[in-house]
Amino acid sequence: MSKSEDKFEHKFADVNNVRLHYVAAGRGKLIIFLHGFPEFWYAWKQQLIEFGRDYLAVAPDMRGYNLSSKPAEVEQYRMKYLIEDIRALIEHLDYKKCFLVAHDWGAGVAWPFAIRYPDYLDKLIIINGPHPVTFTRELRDNPQQQKASRYILVHRTPEAEQILSRDNYGELAKSLLQDGLKQGYFTEEDSKAYLAAWSQPGALTGGLNYYRAARLGPFTGEGDHMLSMDSSLFTVKVPTLVIWGEKDKWLLPGNLNGLEKYVPNLTIKRVPDGSHWVVHEKPELVNSYIRQFIES
């Protein structure tokens, strides 16, 4: 553990009928980082070090993950509850506003949070996480995105836990850790941290329940109504930065097409050689984009 990580504070917030574990560093304006599947607060370690220098940087374990509460009912992972977790966490920290940074499923929560609660945000930063309307469109119209999203069907099955946990969480390690361990941006210490988080009782089910609770277009026969609804209902009214690793094999760059219709104040930073895990591959670049955006 580095000296910077020694300054991390592990805390709990009892909010919205769950207990959220979070890690905090620094003081100043609030910046919150939301992880996706199959990660936990640790995904943002480099950002906590960087932004903990001059902000209060906070990375929660989302409900269902690692040390946070893991409600048993799939219904408890519906978007209305996930959004309220974030609103309640901001209030628990005694702030009225924050910068919100989110990746993957964290972005899946951050987009609707920004639509529902713009007054809680100074600015929004999304990393490889599609806006709900453009994702619904891509799932409906883009065969490549349909193919890339097939894993969602597996994640919804009763067998998903068994499939993903066998061989010491081999599938999760392959998708998240394997390349990083080869290329040197993940260490064995990182690998152990992820395995410990995945092994928390109920954590794998908690993460999978996000997929089970979601209504994603053609996969459920729901969601397509978004495409015919008034676009103002899905408009993000805060300044938004989208950072996108273009080699993402699960979320394709087509999700960026037409995004300005729903995000009038939009900045896009494409990373041509970045994958879905661009936060880990290029932390200095990602941090520089975030800092430049929130301080401009």
Tokens of residue 131, six digits: 């806006």
Tally Cβ neighbours within 10 Å of residue 156: 18
Residue whose tokens read 């924050």: 98
- Residues identified as active-site: 104, 211, 276
Beta-strand relationship, 18-25 and 240-245: unpaired
Tally Cβ neighbours within 10 Å of residue 222: 13
Helix-, strand-, coil-residue percentages of the chain, each rounded to 5: 50, 15, 30
Strand order, beta sheet including 30-34: 9-15, 18-25, 56-60, 30-34, 98-103, 121-127, 240-245, 266-271
Sort residue 28 into left (φ over 0), alpha (ψ -120 to 50) or beta.
left
CA dihedral 21, 7, 101, 41 (to 10 degrees): -40
Which is nearest to 187 in space by CA: 45, 60, 56? Answer: 45
